[in-house]
Structure 1
Amino acid sequence: MKLIHFLACFSLLFIQTALGELVCEQLPVGICSFSIASSGKRCLLETYASGDGTMKLQCKTSEVVVGTNMREHVETDECIAACGVDRKSVGISSDSLLDHRFTAKLCLPQCYQNCPNIVDLYYNLASEEGVVLADLCKAVRSSAGRATSRFLSSGAAFGPASAAAAPTSEAAFGPIISSVDCAPPPM
């Protein structure tokens, strides 16, 4: 499996070097999720019905744009494992934030402080739901996750006043620094 991943990454680097840019539609399905194209847009897996009627996966470019310092990024296996995400994830959704086991792993320092690409994705997904990821991580740590679904479904936990007063992820956890070669420096 590691040999296949190595060969896929090697092929990707060869293609990227030859063409000068990373295009989601040219990525192998196995490294598509959590990758970022040269355009700065996130790559995502989508399903489609093949000619024989079976469902297959393809890598597509989303409309989700990330900061300029994370362009042309393919997430490492170390960050995939540390954050508890799945390379075979289809689409981009905040639903996984409702799963205590996932959120607990996302909030661990191995992920939160070393994998800014994945943290940035879920930070933005949480924000779209009106949740500050740092506050969610604090709730998960303090209550062993029992309050996760309450926190996400409670309007009292967030809103304009509490969002303005809430610590940023950097204030809550310190700077997000890549001490492991999981991703480029944070935005």
Structure 2
Amino acid sequence: MASSLTAALAILVALAVAAQSALGGHLACEELPPDVCAFAVSSGGMRCVLERTPEGAHRCQTSAVAVARDQPLATGHVESDACVRACGVDRAALGLPVATEDRRSLRAICSPACQDGCPNVVDLYATLAAAEGMSLPAMCEAQKAAGNRRMMMGGMAPLGAPVSAPVVVAPVSAPVAAPEPCEDW
């Protein structure tokens, strides 16, 4: 029941944003409900951020981080649930996300579904990575290369590579003796 209510609320907010945009309306972060705040962009092109009030409640606020002006969804945008899932991000996270939270998060953000279909999320993480002196495209390439190396070492072929029989490693039956220490040193 709660998930259907959340989905219905997200649809209503998306429709309201679309109607506001069509009518020349104004999207202010402070007017968004907390459950759709994260990864939204105000009409002024500033990113929305979820914060906690002194009383402990969550509220949506305008951050100081602007969207790249060349983005197609630069203003008045609430990110879709499909992009939130594809990019592995969390709407309930407080504050701005860290650009390199962990490998699993980086893998999701670097996935083709996120990179090709969610420019708003990719732009946010690219901006945050740049602020930390890193490049999101370079991080994604390194993550992809590391994943390919792990798959090849584990006997799995990387995506797009020809598939061969898995490598079987037989256990060693007798222990191997350590080399004698060198007395010359």
TM-score (norm 2): 0.69
Aligned counterpart, 1:135: 138
- Larger Rg computed on CA atoms: 2
How many Å separate the matches in 2 of 1:63 and 1:128?
13
Runs (4 or more) in structure 1 with deviation over 2 Å come to 7-19, 144-147
Unaligned runs of 5+ in 2: 151-185
For residue 145 of structure 1, report the CA deviation from its aligned partner.
9.4
The count of residues paired between Structure 1 and Structure 2 equals 142
For residue 30 of structure 1, report the CA deviation from its aligned partner.
1.2
More strand by share: 1
Q: 1:117 aligns with which of 101, 115, 120?
A: 120
TM-score (norm 1): 0.68
**Cα RMSD after superposing both structures:** 2.3
1:138-170 per-position Cα deviation (integer Å, ceiling 9, x unaligned): 1111112999xxxxxxxxxxxxxxxxxxxxxxx
1:40-93 per-position Cα deviation (integer Å, ceiling 9, x unaligned): 10000000122xxxx110000011111344111110111100000011121113
Unaligned runs of 5+ in 1: 148-187
More helix by share: 1
Check whether the contact 2:46–2:62 (CA below 8 A) recurs between aligned residues: yes
How many Å separate the matches in 2 of 1:39 and 1:130?
26
Check whether the contact 2:68–2:123 (CA below 8 A) recurs between aligned residues: no
Using the aligned pairs only, state the percent identity: 37
Matched, 1:72 2:73: no
Question: Larger relative contact order (C-alpha < 8 A, sep ≥ 6)?
Answer: 1
